[in-house]
Amino acid sequence: MATSTSKDRHDEIDESQVTTVQLRSTVIAQRKFLKHLQNSLGTEGSLTSLSPGPSENVFVIPQILESQLRVQLAFTNNAAWEAQLRDWGALTVNSLSSSALMAVMQRGATVSDGVAISRTLVSLVKQPSPSAVKSDTALPRNFRGPFDWNLDERGANVAAAWTMFANDPKFADQLPWDDIAIGHIDTGYTEHAALGWVKGSSSTVKPASGHDYWDGPLDLDPRDEWLPGFPGHGTRISGAIAGFMSNAPTNPFYGVAPGAKIIPYRVTDSVIIDHVKHHVASAILEAVEDGCHVVNISLGAWFGSSKLANALDFAYERGVIVVCAAGQVLQEVIYPGRYNRCVTMGGVGPGFKPWSSGARGQYVDLCGPADVIRRVKAENLPHGTAAQTVYEKADGNGTSYATATCSGIAALWLAWHGIDALKARYAASGQWQIVQAFKKVARQTATPGAWSPANASDYGSGVINAAALLSSPLPVDGSLKKAKEANDVFDPDD
């Protein structure tokens, strides 16, 4: 760990190298290469796609995947590793510094005439079959299956949590989490039917309660302006948190907490936020003051900042649960997930196998579904026109989705116990206990992941389990240990 200083006491991320490969331009050749990676990985991880690199037909080998394969294939030097990649179909093998890769990732897609254009993701999706709904299963309102893997017992066990609400008389005929407010710090919003948008207004997304930090004080609407970078990211993640579309292709589409209130705070054009950390810090502070109960940050920075850490401390003391992405491609967990006092999410794929592009290590608290995820399609449409499409293939991935899963589950947990009841329960010793109670119980009730015991510490306490979390009793007031400040040295008890 880095030496502590009064200015910045937290461990910083080390510079490293990332392998890139140039592949043939044909989809067949690219998929063949990816299949070799997957087959060699075996049961040790989940990887259904490779991220584009800095130029055409260049792709990035995730650091975690590389380290796993070097061990499994007993490569003791770079020459053997590079020879194997060429044997699998790589035309060239090069390396890129992690900071340079972050710059490439920040750039993301280009936009031409309102259409996002990016280098093609090489993908080889094996979509799990949706689960059937038992005939005696009670579900809220008009919920019906089949459910995607990430929502049932094969993933975060969310559908079982919905059944708990439906079977409890005090929650009859309502969605008790629809008054839970989730501050969504991202690229902003676009209109989509899965998020309740009809004729320019939404029952789920509340732009008037949010803020646009990216376009300055003259633009009050946090609408995603579809700039180069990651246009539509805010909408896709909002869908994963709170979406619902009964007429989606193949089977209904659900977020984790359908209909929970999404308060959009537009802070960036990219999922890499080193250039806007001050916006993120301001958005956290405003979300707390605006009465948000959960804050979702499916974004990340290479470097920390005192303002960002202080904002996490403010949220923590006020009892607001802040959920952060661990990051991907690079092995190191990124900021703000690297700080104490937030919930940092790593990723798994089907079978609870580690997502082999996800960051891992001591800063990861829990994992959530992050590979083979079905998503809403964000579109750059005129005001008042809602997009209607859900991707038929479950080809989404990223710890952004694991983060969205946790934020949605936090909303369910808060609704299950009641916001006012939680505040009253923890009034004597401090509202920070709400955050600590959620984090403690979520870790205690997590599902074990399909990783070896030697790697268990890299993936937190396991895969978040919504039903088990709701079923677990709450810690009593005064029994919880307060976490070290966000920017203090890593707190293993947090």
Q: What is the CATH number of the domain that holds 397?
A: 3.40.50.200
Range of the domain at 112: 17-123
- Same domain flag for 96 and 232: no
Residue 355: inside a domain? yes
- Same domain flag for 340 and 390: yes
- Same domain flag for 209 and 270: yes
- Same domain flag for 156 and 117: no
CA 32 to chain centre: 28
Residue 365: inside a domain? yes
- Same domain flag for 274 and 357: yes
Residue 281: inside a domain? yes
| Residue 28 CB coordination number (10 Å) | 8
231 in Cβ contact with 189 (< 8 Å): no
Nearest to 118 by CA among 108, 128, 127, 126: 108
Residue 6: inside a domain? no
- Same domain flag for 396 and 299: yes
Question: What's phi and psi for 208, nearest 5 deg?
Answer: -65, -20
- Same domain flag for 309 and 362: yes
Residue 249: inside a domain? yes
Q: Give the CA count within 13 Å in the CB-facing half-sphere of 465.
A: 20
User: Which residues neighbour 105 within 8 Å (Cβ) at sequence distance 6 or greater?
Assistant: 51, 270, 271, 272, 329
257 in Cβ contact with 242 (< 8 Å): yes
401 in Cβ contact with 187 (< 8 Å): no
Count of structural domains, the chain: 2
- Same domain flag for 289 and 367: yes
Cα separation of 234 and 190, whole Å? 8
Token representation of residue 47: 């990887």
Secondary structure letter of residue 402 according to DSSP: H
- Same domain flag for 172 and 111: no
- Same domain flag for 419 and 316: yes
Residue 211: inside a domain? yes
49 in Cβ contact with 38 (< 8 Å): no
- pLDDT tens for each residue of the chain, 494 residues long: 233 333 345 677 888 999 999 999 999 999 999 999 999 988 889 999 998 888 889 999 999 999 999 998 999 899 999 999 999 999 999 999 998 888 888 877 766 666 666 667 788 877 788 787 665 567 777 788 889 999 999 999 999 999 999 999 888 767 899 999 999 999 999 999 999 999 999 999 999 999 999 987 777 899 999 998 899 999 999 999 999 998 888 889 999 999 999 999 999 999 999 999 999 999 999 999 999 999 999 999 999 999 999 999 999 999 999 999 999 999 999 999 999 999 999 999 999 999 999 999 999 999 999 999 999 999 999 999 999 999 988 999 999 999 999 999 999 999 999 999 999 999 999 999 999 999 999 999 999 999 988 888 999 999 999 999 999 999 999 999 999 999 999 999 99
